[in-house]
Amino acid sequence: MCPAFKANRSGADLQRASIVWAELFNVNLAPEVIVCGGCRGSADELLDRECPVRQCVLSKGFDDCGQCPEMPCENLKRRWVSRHEMEAKLGRPIPEDDYRKYVLPFENAPFIQKLV
């Protein structure tokens, strides 16, 4: 779902991701550097080179955190966001399209809590 994942990248989405993520997450990324190869991606394909989830996945030999019996762990919980928290921070609603494309991919808690 993530617009930064290398298989999902498109110019218009990257332009908008740059703007929305700066506003929501306080990260300033030029659209051309927004790329991620996922947990198993190469170092030059990482949006967040310090991602604790990726480091954990690699240390355990998994392809992604969904394979881990300890999921959801504290590493993953530190990366959770929620629409409600983001809207409270902004003081206004997030437009539906922006939410669906740029927040929902990181709003892991509701999906994972259904699995455990």
Per DSSP, 36 falls in state B
Q: Could you tell me if residue 63 is inside a domain?
A: yes
CA 43 to the chain's CA centroid: 17
Q: Express each pLDDT in 8-44 by its tens digit.
A: 788 888 899 999 989 988 888 899 888 888 888 887 7
- 99 and 85 in contact (C-beta within 8 Å)? no
Number of domains in the chain: 1
Phi (first) and psi of residue 73, to 5 degrees: -95, 175
Residue 1 vs residue 115, higher pLDDT: 1
Which structural domain, as residue segments, surrounds residue 25?
11-110
Q: Could you tell me if residue 17 is inside a domain?
A: yes
Per-residue confidence (pLDDT) for residue 41, from 0 to 100: 80
Q: Could you tell me if residue 1 is inside a domain?
A: no
Q: Could you tell me if residue 5 is inside a domain?
A: no
Q: Could you tell me if residue 2 is inside a domain?
A: no
Q: Could you tell me if residue 46 is inside a domain?
A: yes
Q: Could you tell me if residue 22 is inside a domain?
A: yes
d(CA 11, CA 34): 10
Q: Could you tell me if residue 116 is inside a domain?
A: no
Per-residue confidence (pLDDT) for residue 116, from 0 to 100: 52
Query: Average model confidence (pLDDT) for the chain?
Result: 83
**Section 83-99 average pLDDT:** 92
pLDDT band at 60 (very low <50, low <70, confident <90, very high): very high
Residue 112's contacts (CB-CB under 8 Å, 6 or more residues apart) are: 71, 72, 76
